[in-house]
Amino acid sequence: MSFSPVDEAIELLEKADAGLEPELLTRPAALRLLEAYARAEKLASFGKAALTRKIDDISEVTKITGTSVGKAKETVTTGKVLGVSHELSAALKGGEISLDQAARIAVAEEAAPGSAGDLVRVAKNNSFNVLTDEARRVKLDAEQHHDLGARQHRARSARSHKDELGMIHINLALEPHIGTPIVNRAEAGASRLYRSAKKDGSPEPFERHLADAYAAMLAGTGTGKSRRPELVVLVSHGVATRGWKDVKEGEVCKIPGIGPVPPRVARDIGRDAFLTGVFFDGTDLRHTKRWSRNPSVEVLLALELGEPPDFDGIKCIDCGNRFRIENDHVEPHVAHGPASTGNLEHRCWPCHQAKTERDRKAGKLRPPDP
């Protein structure tokens, strides 16, 4: 067997590993070397994914790559899409994205052919969770017209198991319109528990308070009420006027930030809900302003929808996270910043704390001069 360039690269990597002594490196040198290793891994990922097109045995791929069955299936799917998507193939071949990023893009490209180019740009410029969120949105939007609601209904499930500590783990897979209000109610309850514990000087990690909130809800003792809407469904006017039968190109019937819901489900929800008309022109949504600490109901609803025209829900403006999102005053309230859509941005709790600290250092957390 001839000595291939890959064999040569492996030999060089083995020598690099043998001489690697991280303790002797400065932090900048370690960062540069980490980037080099990451690029080498990305370059190897292209060959690994592409070669699976010649191997249709998942168990064999699992054994050779040393990964789980799920990961092996992702790699095989990515390999197939590499053969038809120039944008994805070029990005992975050039070491610009990782195999995990390519796998997310490949799934979306299968559902929405032609979407890989935009998603590659998202992958290059954003964190992994932002790419995952956008790829999921693209896939769900494409599948909304292919019996998505029925498949979601069939996919609902519940599992539980006990770990070594005796803790009970519960895993629920719920349809979007069922799970979203439950999650929002639990997070509202957890936020209240966290604030109370912080006031008493005994706060715990938010996830523990969230576990307590879910437990209280399941026991029927938790309220979890919040000023934020528990569920917002955005429906194009045309969907309703045609009898809630279908969603045409350019229309929406979805939970912002979550994904599409069947029109019949939106119709049933609308029978016992507050209805609000949303008017926008291009990317401009009419703004409201209120000079108080708490936003009005109209402002809260506008914020919950996300930016027009996509209305893709709320996420942290800094890191793209959708968990534990808070409304942050761009110009602090203490400095008379208004509770308006123009002065409110969404930030997750860690990014909100970091922004507050930056404002404090910049001297913004004080009233303006008379």
Residues 116 and 204 placed together within one structural domain of the fold: no
239 and 114 inside one domain: no
Looking at residue 299, what is its pLDDT?
62
Instruction: Tell me, yes or no, whether 11 and 130 share the same domain.
Output: yes
Neighbours of 247 (CB within 10 A): 23
Q: Do residues 215 and 238 both lie within one domain?
A: no
Question: Is residue 139 located within the same domain as residue 22?
Answer: yes
Query: Could you tell me if 278 and 357 lie in one domain?
Result: yes
Each residue's pLDDT tens digit, 297-320: 556 666 667 777 777 777 888 888
* 149-163, 223-237, 251-265: least confident range: 223-237
pLDDT at 303: 63
Kindly indicate the confidence band of residue 369, based on its pLDDT and cuts at 50, 70 and 90. Answer: low
Q: How confident is the model at residue 368 (pLDDT cuts 50, 70, 90)?
A: low
**Residue 158: inside a domain, yes or no?**
no
| The two structure tokens encoding residue 238 | 């045309």
| Structural domain includes residue 149 | no
Contact 120, 109 (CB under 8 A): no
Q: What is the pLDDT of residues 81-130, one digit of tens each?
A: 999 999 999 999 999 999 999 999 999 999 999 999 999 999 999 999 99
Position 320 scores a pLDDT of: 83
Tokens encoding 161: 């198991």
The percent of residues above 70 in pLDDT, for the chain, comes to 86
Q: Of 219, 243, 277, which one is at a domain's C-terminal end?
A: 219
User: Is the CB of residue 147 less than 8 Å from the CB of residue 132?
Assistant: no
Residues 268 and 313 grouped into a single domain: yes
For 345, the 3-state DSSP assignment is: strand
Among candidates 218, 233, 107, which has minimal Cα distance to 172? 218
42 and 115 inside one domain: yes
**Residue with the larger pLDDT of the pair 336 and 64:** 64
Quote the pLDDT of residue 231.
83
Q: Is residue 153 part of a domain?
A: no
pLDDT of residue 289: 44
Residue 141 has pLDDT above 60, yes or no: yes
> Does residue 187 register a pLDDT over 50?
yes
Establish whether the linkage from the previous residue to 309 is cis, with ω within 30° of 0: yes
Q: Which of 15, 9, 74 is nearest to 44 (CA)?
A: 9
Q: Are residues 89 and 179 in the same domain?
A: no
- Smallest CA-to-CA distance from 233 within 247, 219, 213, 216 is with 247
Q: What is the mean pLDDT of residues 73-85?
A: 94
Count of domains observed in the chain: 3
- Could you tell me if 96 and 44 lie in one domain? yes
Residue owning tokens 């919950």: 304
Q: Is residue 31 part of a domain?
A: yes
pLDDT score of 314: 77
- Considering only residues 194 and 313, tell me which one the structure prediction assigns the higher pLDDT: 194
Pairing of strands 168-173, 280-281: unpaired
Q: How many CA atoms, within 13 angstroms, populate the side-chain half-sphere of residue 342?
A: 9
Residue 291: per-residue pLDDT:
43
Decide if 58 is inside a domain: yes
Of the candidates 294, 97, 334, 155, which has an alpha carbon nearest to the alpha carbon of residue 89?
97
Q: Which residue segment(s) compose the domain that 334 sits in?
A: 234-361
| Tens digits of residue pLDDT in 263-290 | 999 998 887 777 777 777 666 654 434 4
Average pLDDT over residues 234-252: 89
Share of the chain above pLDDT 90, in %: 49
Instruction: Output the pLDDT for position 318.
Output: 86
- Of residues 335 and 206, more confidence is placed in 206
Q: Answer yes or no: is 45 within a domain.
A: yes
Asked if residue 55 belongs to a domain, the reply is: yes
Q: Are residues 128 and 208 in the same domain?
A: no
* Distances from the Cα of 84 to the Cα of 16, 90, 317, angstroms: 35, 11, 34
| 156 is a domain residue | no
Same domain? For 11 and 136 the reply is yes
Q: What is the spatial distance between Cα 93 and Cα 48, in angstroms, rounded to a whole number?
A: 11
Q: What pLDDT was estimated at residue 295? A: 57
